[in-house]
Chains A and B, each alone.
Chain A
Amino acid sequence: METFILQTLNGLDKGSAYALIALGLTLIFGTLGVVNFAHGALFMIGAFCAVTLSRILTLSYIVVDESKTDFLGNPLKVDVPYVFDIFGQSTGEAIIDWAVPLAIIFSIPIMIAIGWIMERGLIKHFYKRPHADQILVTFGLAIVLQEIIKYYYGANPIPTPAPEAFSGSFDFGALIGFDANTIIYPYWRIVYFIFAAVIIGAVFAFLQFTTFGMVVRAGMADRETVGMLGINIDRRFTIMFGLAAAVAGLAGVMYTPIVSPNYHMGMDFLVLSFVVVVVGGMGSLPGAVLAGFLLGILESFASMREVLELVPGINQIIIYLVAIVILLTRPRGLMGRKGVMED
């Protein structure tokens, strides 16, 4: 039972990341009709926003410490962050410690700007082109973006830890009546799950309860009619692209303490997120979220030793297996509209 609960928690956590990325993908596909293979790169850029802010906060000047030597036997050069001088050492240390949460604020305008530039500068020229062209150009863009990141940040993972207050784990089992030390779960993963739930809720609320969201939903249902009413739907869709980029970026920022960011992390998530979108139903926002959590949980259970002993290698194919079964039995996906992906 403990293992079952642990893997469910893991699945929800992993599913949070899938759901956030798939949500953005679905927003773009639903509004602009574009299959955006560069969406994983936006997740990765979000993670590197956290790395960048961390580096900005640790920008330092050098003080030579004559009492110590470096690896060559020369006097040791010690880096002193400027924030220590500005805010004092203890406040400066706290600011550096909280770099990842602070990166949420830092990343939002950057991600919206990147999304806007991406859409206006490149993707809008492919709206009327076949999906194959869109896939090729966005996939190429993803490779360019990840190579740029690799050029500036290197190929190795960069540790970007959570604030000290969230670095440990807590006894989830004791909280729900199990023996102590049976279900241990990291604080930050709980934070990630709650954060994802808030973002998903905010996106749905935005689309459901604002005039802007109502127009966007109307445009998703019937773009031409909305256009004929004199509403500039293209401008709203561009804003939605920026919003989707911001959602992917925020997912990346908060993921950095879970997996140290590297230039390739977007690609690792991209294919899985597409499967999530297809399983959930192309263009269906609730479907993307539901499928994200569902596949995250399934993937977690498939990684259990007992399951692997029974079906070796199932952990590597479970998501694709489910996708095949869903597409064969329900081509429009779990919550897709009838007619989409069925012709």
Chain B
Amino acid sequence: MTKSTFTRRGALKTSAIAGAGVAMPTIFTGSSAAAFTNEPAGSSVTLGFNVPQTGPYADEGADELRAYELAVEHLNGGGDGGMMNTFSSKALQGNGILGKKVEYVTGDTQTKSDAARASAKSMIEKDGAVMITGGSSSGVAVAVQALCQEAGVIFMAGLTHSNDTTGKDKKANGFRHFFNSYMSGAALAPILGANYGTDRKAYHLTADYNWGYTTEEAVRTSTEAMGWETVAAVKTPLTQTDFSSYVAPVLQSGADVLVLNHYGGNMVNSLTSAVQFGLREKEANGKNFEIVVPLYSRLMARGAGANVKGIFGSTNWHWSLPDEGTQAFVRSFGTKYGFPPSQAAHTCYVQALLYADAVERAGSFNPCAVGEALEGFEFDGMGNGKTLYRAEDHQCFKDVLVVKGKENPTSEFDLLEIVEITPVSQVTYDASIFGGELGACNPGA
């Protein structure tokens, strides 16, 4: 008689171990057959668009998503091809990526780091996304970039302006096309000097979080280098809506320039307060009082309405640029959606195309091969003139636009006018100044 070793307890243990094995995310196990995370096996490839669909930047997120959908349409051979026709690299043929039809899934970052990581993780683990892109906040970009590094997929950042994204928090799997705080400061300072003089006293109001700090530092460094004095720098809570108690004391401080290191709703509200308190009509130290907004967004300028008139700032791109790439993109986007794209839409569209092009040139979806193809890649025809994806920090270097709120807008989109296109040489910096290490590329498998 043989004694069976099969017991109820043993069965439970076995099924628990088997269950845990099945449940364990593929992100941690990889596939023994795959060379890297989510290697596309069929006739299609899935990209993950992680944008704010709810929360304070939902409108920017919606514009990002429109741009991604347009990019997918163009990559798959639909529409008029947009910037694929003007892009200096001719690797993209309109037949998907490496012959695979491009499909996509979307996630909602909610402009919260934890929610953004969760949605990115879900797109990688459940939907098999081979690349994650999007976002409208530096906090989100840094968090998702770190996740993509661990997971072994490429992260193509959306709208993120903090120096940290490609500075102290840079990762080998992460790439940013958008400009940063340092570049804003370097581009703005000469224009501010030329228009307002080099003997100025500045008062900074700074959003109390990472992006605010790096922007304040960048603008302070650039303006102090040309002779401006910083009278005070006050941090304002991110949740602040009425900035009257921060704006009211500015005139008594001896300052003659107010720098608003704010973005989004903060920028709209602080600028509205400053204009309401009549700062722009006042004189201080024998000069006209001036206001500066280092980072402009057309969507935010719309929120501030007439208050932006005549105020200097910087932007990554603007739909009114005359180059072929911009015109092709604006034509595609405008025909499809009925209005011109925002800078968020532009950077996201470009990132999607740059990723696809890098895959084509590398001949593989392997994130390490794609990373290599992007590192040191020089291109043109994407709306910003000649651009370099610097290998040392995965930051794009290109001309920066200094803009000014338009005095006589002809439509609700025509809010900013380009004052100067600052050449890339003026905004280039040493890759080591912000610290951080790229580390090694992680293919995930």
Contact of B58 among A6, A14, A150, A158 (CB under 8 A): A150
Give Cα distance in the complex from A185 to B410, angstroms: 31
Inter-chain CA distance A156–B307, complex, in Å, is 16
Closest to B111 in A: A155
Interface residues contributed by chain B, number (CB under 8 Å): 52
The tally of residues in A whose CB lies under 8 Å from a CB in B reads 49
> In the docked arrangement, what's the CA distance between A265 and B303, Å?
14
Contact of A155 with B276 in the complex, beta carbons under 8 Å: no
Stretch of B73-81, B166-174, B175-183, B246-254 with 4 or more beta carbons under 8 angstroms from chain A: B246-254
Is A260 a contact partner of B268 (Cβ separation < 8 A)? yes
Nearest CB in chain A: distance from B405 CB, A: 13
Cβ proximity bits A6-25 to B, threshold 8 Å, 1 near / 0 not: 11011101100000000000
A186 to B242, CA, bound (A): 13
A333 to chain B, nearest CB (A): 24
Interface 9-mer from A65-73, A95-103, A124-132, A281-289: A65-73
Q: Whose C-beta in chain A lies nearest to the C-beta of B233?
A: A305
How long is the Cα–Cα vector from A156 to B59 in the complex, in angstroms?
6
What 1/0 flags go to B290-307 for Cβ under 8 Å of A? Answer: 000000000110111111
A-B contact count (CB 8 A): 131
The answer, yes or no, to whether B105 is at the interface (CB within 8 Å) is no
| Contact flag A155-B245 (CB < 8 Å), given A71-B413, A72-B334, A259-B269 | no
Contact B299 A159 (CB under 8 A): no
Contact B249 A157 (CB under 8 A): no
By beta carbon, the residue of chain A nearest B265 is A157
- Cα distance A303–B240 when bound, in Å? 11
Least Cβ–Cβ distance between A26 and chain B, in angstroms: 22
Q: In the assembled complex, how far is the CB of residue B63 from the closest CB belonging to chain A, in whole angstroms?
A: 11
Candidates B253, B283, B335; contact of A72 at CB < 8 Å? B335
Minimum CB–CB distance for A220 against chain B, Å: 32
Q: Is the CB of B253 within 8 A of A305?
A: yes
Q: In the complex where A6-B249, A169-B278 touch, is A155 in contact with B55 (Cβ < 8 A)?
A: yes
Residues of A within 8 A of B304 (CB): 157, 159, 260
Minimum C-beta distance from A92 to chain B (A): 19
Interface string of B266-278 (1 = CB under 8 A from A): 0011001100111
Which of A258, A265, A299 has the most C-beta atoms of chain B within 10 angstroms of its own C-beta?
Answer: A258
Q: Which of B58, B249, B269, B307 is the one whose CB lies under 8 Å from A304? A: B249
Taken together as a complex, chains A and B put the C-alpha atoms of A75 and B301 apart, in Å, by 25
Q: Is A60 in the interface zone, CB < 8 Å from B?
A: no
For chain B, residues 201 to 259, give those with C-beta under 8 angstroms from any C-beta of chain A: 232, 234-235, 237, 239, 241-242, 244-246, 248-249, 251-253
Q: Which residues of B contact A181 (CB under 8 A)?
A: 251, 282-283
**Is B263 an interface residue, CB under 8 A from the partner?**
no
A89 within 8 A of B: no
Min CB distance, B339 to chain A, in Å? 8
Q: Contact between B303 and A158 (Cβ–Cβ < 8 Å)?
A: yes
Cβ–Cβ contact A156 & B242, under 8 A: no
The 8 A CB mask of B395-416 against A (1 = contact, 0 = none) is 0000000000000001101100
CB distance from B121 to the nearest CB of A (A): 24
CB distance from B279 to the nearest CB of A (A): 8
Residue B340 lies at the interface, judged by CB distance under 8 Å to chain A = yes
Which residues of B sit under 8 angstroms from A201, Cβ to Cβ? none
**Closest chain A residue to B299, Cβ basis:** A156
Say how far A321's CB is from chain B's closest CB, in angstroms: 15
Contact status B277-A156, CB under 8 Å: no
SS class, residues of chain A in contact with chain B: mixed
Given A169-B278, A185-B277, A155-B272 contact (CB < 8 Å) = no
- Asked if residues A259 and B272 are in contact (CB atoms below 8 Å), the reply is yes
| Given A68-B410, A258-B276: A7 in contact with B251 (beta carbons within 8 A) | no
Closest residue of A by beta carbon distance from B303: A157
Q: Is the CB of B277 within 8 A of A155?
A: no
By the criterion CB–CB under 8 Å, are B57 and A10 in contact?
no
B107 to chain A, nearest CB (A): 17
In this assembly, does A140 line the interface, its C-beta being within 8 Å of a C-beta of chain B?
no
Nearest neighbor of A7 in chain B, beta-carbon distance: B245
Among candidates B234, B252, B300, residue contacting A308 with C-beta atoms closer than 8 Å: B234
Q: Is the CB of A10 within 8 A of B410?
A: no
- Are B249 and A262 within 8 A (Cβ)? no
For residue A86, give the distance in angstroms from its CB to the closest CB of chain B. 23
| B276 surroundings in chain A (CB, below 8 A) | 167, 169, 186, 188-189, 257-258
CA distance A3 to B247 in the complex (A): 11
Contacts of A76 in B (CB 8 A): 410-411
Q: In the complex, A11→B248 CA distance in Å?
A: 11
Contact assessment for B410 and A186 in the assembled complex, using a CB-CB cutoff below 8 Å? no
CA distance A93 to B342 in the complex (A): 30
Q: A2-B252, A157-B303 are in contact. Are A168 and B245 (CB under 8 A)?
A: no
Task: Indicate if the CB atoms of B241 and A259 lie closer than 8 Å.
Answer: yes
Q: Hey, which chain A residues are within 8 Å of B317, CB to CB?
A: none
Q: 5 extra interchain contacts, Cβ-Cβ under 8 A, other than A72-B331, A169-B281, A308-B234?
A: A76-B410, A157-B265, A159-B304, A259-B269, A268-B241
Q: List 12 A-B contacts (CB under 8 A).
A: A3-B252, A14-B242, A71-B319, A155-B54, A156-B268, A157-B268, A169-B277, A186-B277, A186-B278, A258-B272, A258-B276, A301-B245
Residues on B facing A (Cβ under 8 Å): 54-59, 232, 234-235, 237, 239, 241-242, 244-246, 248-249, 251-253, 265, 268-269, 272-273, 276-278, 281-283, 299-300, 302-307, 319-320, 330-331, 334-335, 339-340, 410-411, 413-414
Which are the 8 A-B pairs with shortest beta-carbon distances? Answer: A159-B305, A169-B278, A155-B58, A303-B245, A157-B303, A300-B245, A186-B276, A6-B248
Using a CB–CB distance below 8 Å, which chain A residues touch chain B? Answer: 2-3, 6-7, 9-11, 13-14, 68, 70-72, 76, 150, 154-159, 161, 167-169, 181-182, 184-186, 188-189, 257-260, 262, 264-265, 268, 299-301, 303-305, 308, 315-316
